[in-house]
Structure formats: structure tokens, C-alpha cells
Structure 1
Amino acid sequence: MTKRLLHFITLLFVMLTTMSLNVAADTYSVAPSQLQPKVTVTPSDEYVNVPIRLTNWGTNPVSQITYTLFDPDTNETSEPINMDFETPFADNLDVNIPIKPGTKIGESDVTLNITHVDGHFNEVTIPYTMITRSTVLQAPKKRVVFEDVTGLWCQYCPRGIAIMEYMERIHPDDFIGISIHDDAMRTNAYTELMSKWTGRPYITFNRYEKVNSYTGEGEYYMAMNQTASFDINVKANFDESGNNIIVSTDVLPCLPTAENDKYEVAYVLTADGLKNDKWVQNVAAGEWDGIEGLPEEYAPFLGGVSQVSGLTFNQVAIASKGVEYGVEGSLTAPYTVGEMQKPTVTFENISQHNLIQDRSKLNVCALIICSTIDPNTKAVTKTVIDNAAKCRVGNDNSETGIKELTDSADSAITGYYSLDGRRLNAPAKGVTIVRYANGKTIKIQK
């Protein structure tokens, strides 16, 4: 054996041995999800848990991680925090990270950094993620709006019908559905938008994106994860004539808003329980047959049928006010946090709407429309629904969302705050925000 060959064999042996040692060596590597979750907290909260998915890229199941939290409000990093797992995880694990309220009202990104895994330095490439924290004086009640442009002639529109009915059943308190018909139930409520929203069915959630799933669940939770800047309450009643509907809204700004965002309230009158023997829904025969996990609302459209009659149509848009951008002037800038605004509108001459079959099944939906304005051209570049509320039309003052504070005995004061969110020991000179035990806030002048 030549000296050169012996040298080559020796080098090869060393390389193989090194590779073997590297493969055999334990690695400690845990990464947090990069989806950047959002959380809303109030100054009175001790903390709010934020779900984070952890992924173990190491060689062994993980029993403990150590992490820190960097708070941009205070510019401080927490002491290392240990999180132990009774059952070590080898792949993915969902955990809750407690997030404290910020020292300022508004949004800030808290940095979660996983520093150690089972006592060893975390070797993962990206060990950190951001958590968007919204600190608000009052947490808004978040609701999601689905708008479905549909038609009896449209064979693929049963998907939208099923989604809207399913969401109403599963999320009755957090879902608001509006069905816009391009058929015998067509009205002028959405004339401005129907020509822009092409293709049928056209289902949108909060005007972010289209709903492309079979249930709408994923889109619903995506929208619910977005922080609302406003809380809203609506009530609607017939006037004494019985031919006009008076609509009152309470809109409470909860977060500072962007300079180029304009907010207005849109109103949509909808009707439930509409029936007509002549209304026959076309169906794409077999389109949804064999799909696993479909909700029961698809049942009428399965089994190879091509038409379905006898359906009851709900959430049908009858009339609207400012449906595209909101009613001009309904909200006044600046939208001061904690300062209630009370826009009102009237739906007049209800008897003109022949589509209405039962006045006890009328609803009013109030949508807070956020329009982003280009600072140079002043043109609207984007519109989304920030939040919404819905109520039955009647004479019982039934309402959803926030209510005005009353001087009841159980409304104990829990804190005083300045307009920029700083906690005070007592009301200060000028305007002070008072927070009560039931979560309500008012402004007082001293």
C-alpha cells in the first residue's frame, strides 16, 4: 500500500467518523410559529394568554423551554421564564404565553424569544417571534361579517347558502351574514358593489378576501384574529307610524387609528324567513357529493339533484345606507379613544319593499367601514369592515354590543386613566377616563 493511498484512507476514516459523531450528537432546537398572533388586553387585566405553536427541530423530545419577553413600551426584557411539559413533545405543541397589558394605549409588538431547550442553548435559526399586543381601555366585542352575492340561477351558489346558514348556527353571537341576491330577490341595497364583485357566488369576509372554503370557519377565525379599533352597539325600532325604522348606534373608539384611515358607519336592512314556491335554486349536480366533513346545511344540495325548491332564504339584503364607504359624516375625526359617538339613520317608507314578508323578522346590520386614503391623491385605496353589530327591528330596544353606563350601585370604579392611557390615582384636571368594574368607561371633566 502506497503512502499516498494510506493517507487517503486515513482522511476518509476521519471524515466518516466525524460525520457519524455529528449525526449522533444531540441537538436542541425549538422554533415558535411566525404567524405573529394578536391579542387584546385592558389595563385591568393581569395578563391574557396567547396561543403559540412550537416546533421541535431537535433530536429528542423536549421537556422544558426557557423564554424571555421584550416589551417595547418599557424597553425591558423579562427575566428568563421556564415552561415545563409533563409529556415531552417531539414534533409540534400548542402552548399559551401570558402577555401583560402595555403601559400605553395602542398597539405594540412584544418579542417572544426561546433562549434554551432542556437547559441547553436553543440552536434554531429563528428562536423568536412577534406578538402584536393591543392595549385598550375597553376590549371591543369583535364580530365578523360575511357578504354573499348569490342567485337562484347560479348552480354553484348553494355553497354560499350553506356557509351562511352554517355560520349563523355555529357562531350566532359573533357572525353577521348579509345575502345579496341577483335574482327575484334582488334589491337596490348593494347596487354600488354588485358590479365590482364579479363572479357568483362572491362571498367575502369583512371585505378582506373571498371565502373559498366549504364552511367559512378558517376565514371566520382569520377575521376574528384581527383587532377591532371600535366597539359598536345598534338598536332599531319602528316609529309611531310603523312605516319608518329609526336606527341608533353607539360607537366607542378603543384604539388609536392610523392617520390615513377614515371610518364611517354603513347600515343594511335584512330580512329572514323569505319563501316563494316559484323560487327554485339551481344546483351543480354532484358538486359536493362525497366530500367529507360537510355541515348539515349542504344536505338539500346533495344526492345529484339539479334543482331545489321550498328553501327558506335568510339574511336577505333589503335596503342600505352608505353600504360601500359608510354614511358620510356618521363618525367624526379625530376618533378619540373612550369618547362615544352616536350616529343615527332612518329607513323610510318600509312598505315600499314588497320583498318583506314578516316585519318581525327584519334586522339592521351596522358596519364600521375603514377606508384607507392615499395621502397624495386622496383616493380610497382599500376598504375593510373594522367591526359590526346586528339587531332585530322591533319596539323592545333589543341591542348588541356595548351599552351606555348607568349609575347602578354595582358599578364600582376600578381605575382612572389619562387620555393617553396612563393610570392615575385620582381624577386629574381636564378630562379623565373612569373605568368601572363592569368594564364600562366614561369621560369626566374636572
Structure 2
Amino acid sequence: MSKKLYLQFLFLVAVICHAGNVSAEDHNLIPSTGQKVYVPITAKSAKGKLLITNYGSTVIRNFDYTLSFNGEVLVSKNYVLPEPLNRMEGATIEVDVPPHTQVSETDLLFTITKVNGEVNGTSVNHATLPRVTVTKVPHRKIVVEEYTAMWCGYCPRGIALMENLAKNYPDDFIGIAVHTGGRADPLSCTDYAWKAADYRSRPTLHMNRNLFLGYVKAITEFEEERSRGADMDIDVTATWDDRQENITVTPRVTFCVDKEDVAYGFAYVLTEDGMSNPNWYQNNYYSGRTEELGVSDELDYFIKADYAVKGLENNFVAIAAEGVKAPLTGYIQTPIKADRPQSHTYVFRNISSKKLIQDKTKLKVCVLLINIKTGQIENAAKCTISPANTTAISSVSEGKETVVETARYTLDGRRITTPQKGINIVKYSDGRVCKEVVTR
């Protein structure tokens, strides 16, 4: 074969191959790793989320997929998109995920087999969908730490965001307003000072120590963070002593799956709502910025207010804290067994020395469970403080369930009337018996 004919032959082969590739790329839908989904073992299914992206040139209206585990196909369906997906567009989809046969963490394989009835042309047609089969799906609450100051004219943005989340998500939002500036801010919390030093700007709003919020509303961000779920539930109780000098805090953590290697720590925060003083004023650079009216009722308040806002009620104010910079460890016993609660106690002492407090009846206790490896808050709980010998439980709806501690014993069976250092066995009026590790 002459050189000229050989080159023409190669060109023809290239054209044919290119045409074949273009045809394949016409139907090219790629899934990304899905969000972890928690499935009750007694349920038929739960919704799992994945992102899909159209890398082909054809508008996609539907696709076929399979969901499999260890080579066995569990689900095979056709998915009709609510809106057509154009080239280079992505969409988040929800698929039905069945539970495993036992409480466990497993990875499913999600595979897109056909696109618009044609074979999916991509070689990357599958993705992992993490599945956690549980007895009960944990309730995840979201913590937003707001680093703020009265002298900061831009901080009303953060105040508005916090109040907006509290209004929209009363059972899921835990706000902590950390005032800074020493004498320049009468609500400065010295216990948070080392952690506050990590953030130079005011306001700085950090959601679960995972995402910074730079807006005046964060509905989408909040719901996305909440939808990630959690591997554990947290309840917390808090009780005054007879003199209202000390607060005994009892978190109870229940993991939904077994875990061998864990690294969790706790932080404890005492907050107060409704703090005000006629001599305080909040700088407000949003005064008169009518172009931003309508974003939220909470921001509208500041737009219509003066440059210096007097009489403002400050909520979620951090009064005292421990573990917020270096979480306290050693409370989670390993290996962790699913559905077995673990409890301990922490005591806020000498409350009268906390000069920031205005009204003890408006105090709340927040407990944060922090992943030591990532630094993120995995879950949290908040509760009011009950009088001596009673307990207010924070669960799905804060303050709607109340139980009473009926008896407390040492590990050798001796009955005691107050928490004693070491392991305490505590009985409650709802029938629960908890083991508490008292460290102080």
C-alpha cells in the first residue's frame, strides 16, 4: 500500500471512530457519590440523594438505573426527570433505598444503564451510595456559632440570620452568640475567647464548624446541613442544686451503628436569652439600606432602625463554656454498640460568679459532640435547667417531656443523694437506668 493510500485509510478510520464516540457521547449521564442515607430497618425504604450530570449533547428526559449490593440487584427502575437536563447541567435526584437485613453500614452501587432508552455511553456510569440501616433515625440538630460584637456595625446581619433560623427551625436550631471585644462589649464571653481568636472578621457565622455563612439568610444551607443526618442521637438534662449555684448537666449519646475507632469530644455552653440594658447600643450599618428590604423580617427591623439601636434584646448569648477550643475527651466508651446509651455528667460551678447573667430563668445548656479528627460538630442538644431533683429532657421537641431522677447509686450498690465522682447508676421515673461517669 502506498503512503498516500495508507494515510487516507488512517483518516477514514479516525473519522469512523470519531463518529462512534460522538454517538456514544450523545447519551452520557454520570452519577456522583451519593449522600449517606439512614434507613429504618422496619421501613420499606428511605430516600437517598445523588447528583447526576449530563456530559452528552442530547437533552435527557429520563434514565434507567439499578441499585445493587454485593452484586445483587435490589432495585431496577426508570426515572423521569421533572425538568429536562441539558448538556453540562446537573441535578440532585432522590431514589428509594431499601434497608439491609441488619443494623449496619453498607455501600450500595448506583448504576445508570440507559439514557432516554439508549445505552448510557459513559464508562463512568456508576457511583457509591452509602447506606446506614438503623433501628431509629437520629435527629440531627444544627449549631450556628455567631462571633459578634455591639461595636460591629455589620453584625446586625448575623443577628438577623440567627433570629430567622430560630423562628423557622425552633426544634432543630441551636444558636450560640459569642460576643467579643472585652470592655467594648458588655457581653464578652471570656470562656470563648481562645476559640473566638480563630476568626478575625465580625460577624463570623460558622455552621457546625463546617460551613461559613456569609448572607442574611441561610435556609438552603441549613436544610442541606440537616439532611446529612448523624450517626447518633443526643439528649441532655440539666438540673440546679438546692442553692442554684451549680448546674449538673447529663448528656446521653446513643449511636445508631456499631463503631470501633472513634474520636469524639464534648463542649458545654451556657447561654442566656433576652439580655438587654438601656445603656447598651448596637452599631447598625444597615440603617436606611432600603434596597435590602424584604430579605427577611429580621433584617427589615435593622433597616428601619437607627444607626445606634438601643434596647435590643440579645439572644443565645454565650455566658460560660468549656471544651469549645479543645473538646473534652474520654467520655465515649469503645467499642461503641448500636442503640446502647452512654451518659456522663458535667457541672457548671459557682454560677453566682458569672457576672454576665441577668436572669437565671432564661439560661439554657448546650452540649456539642465534636469529631476530633475533622473538628466538625456531629450533633448537639439544648435544654432548659430544671429545679433540684427534676430533669428536663431535650429530644425531638425541647421541653415537652419531663422525667424525675428517682434514685442514684454507686457502682457497688450504695445509694447516694448527689452525683459522686466515679461511675453512678441513675434511675429515672420513665423507667430508664443510665450509667453516668462523674468526673468532677
| TM-score interval, normalised by the smaller of the two chains | 0.7 to 0.9
Question: Aligned partner of 1:211: which letter?
Answer: L
Match of 1:302 in 2: 303
Q: Name 1:316's counterpart in structure 2.
A: 317
Q: 1:391 to 1:52 in 2, by over 3 A?
A: same
**Where does residue 78 of structure 1 map in the other structure?**
73
1:397 matched residue in structure 2: 391
Shift of 1:37: 1.8
1:386: which partner in 2? Answer: 378
Residue type of the alignment partner of 1:169: K
- Residues 26-46 of structure 1 show CA distances to partners (whole Å, capped at 9, x for unaligned) of 986263552632211232222
Task: Give the conservation status (yes or no) of the 8 Å contact 2:103–2:135.
Answer: yes
Match of 1:240 in 2: 242
**DSSP-derived class of the 2:47 partner:** strand
Which residue pairs with 1:363 in the alignment?
364
C-alpha distance in structure 2 between counterparts of 1:174 and 1:83, whole Å: 35
- 1:325-364 counterparts in 2 under 5 A? 325-364=326-365
Mind listing any 5+ residue stretches in structure 1 that lack a counterpart?
1-13, 373-381, 404-439
What's the counterpart of residue 214 of structure 1? Answer: 216
Match of 1:383, SS state, is coil
1:269–1:112 Cα change, 3 Å? same
Letter in 2 for 1:240: D
Deviation at 1:52, TM superposition (A): 3.9
Q: Distance in 2 between matches of 1:155 and 1:358?
A: 27
Output the CA distance in 1 between the equivalents of 2:382 and 2:326: 18
Structure 2 CA distance for partners of 1:347 and 1:304, relative to 1, 3 Å: closer
CA contact (8 A) 1:145 1:175 kept: yes
Report what 1:34 is aligned to: 32
**Distance between the aligned counterparts of 1:80 and 1:117, measured in 2?**
17
1:143 Cα offset (Å)? 0.8
Distance 1:27 1:196 in 2: 48
* 1:12-411 pair list within 5 angstroms: 29=27, 31=29, 33-34=31-32, 36-52=34-50, 54-55=52-53, 64-71=62-69, 75-78=70-73, 81-83=76-78, 85=80, 89-91=84-86, 95-103=93-101, 105-124=103-122, 126-182=124-180, 183-257=185-259, 259=261, 261-285=262-286, 289-291=290-292, 294-302=295-303, 305-372=306-373, 382-395=374-387, 397-401=391-395
1:193 CA drift (Å)? 0.9
- Cα distance, 1:346 vs structure 2: 1.7
Aligned partners of 2:260 and 2:336 also within 8 Å: no
Q: Secondary structure at the match of 1:298?
A: helix
Verify the 8 A CA contact 2:177 2:315 in the aligned structure 1: yes
Question: Quick one: distance in 2 between partners of 1:285 and 1:169?
Answer: 21
Cα 1:293/1:114, change in 2 over 3 Å = farther
Q: 1:281-320: CA deviations, max 9, x gaps?
A: 1122469652476221112322585322221100001112
**Alpha-carbon distance between aligned partners in 2 of 1:398 and 1:328, rounded to the nearest angstrom:** 25
Q: Deviation digits for residues 69-96 of structure 1, max 9, x if unmatched?
A: 132xxx1241672325497735466543
- Give the structure-1-normalised TM-score: 0.74
Distance 2:61 2:196 in 1: 55
Report if aligned partners of 2:148, 2:178 keep a CA contact under 8 Å in 1: yes
CA RMSD of superposed structures (Å)? 3.6
- Cα 1:359/1:105, change in 2 over 3 Å: same
Aligned length: 381
**TM-score normalized with structure 2 length:** 0.75
Please, which runs of 5 or more residues in structure 2 have no aligned partner? 1-11, 398-431, 435-440
Q: Which residue of 1 aligns with 2:408?
A: none
Secondary structure in structure 2 of the residue aligned to 1:331: coil
Paired letter, 1:345: Y
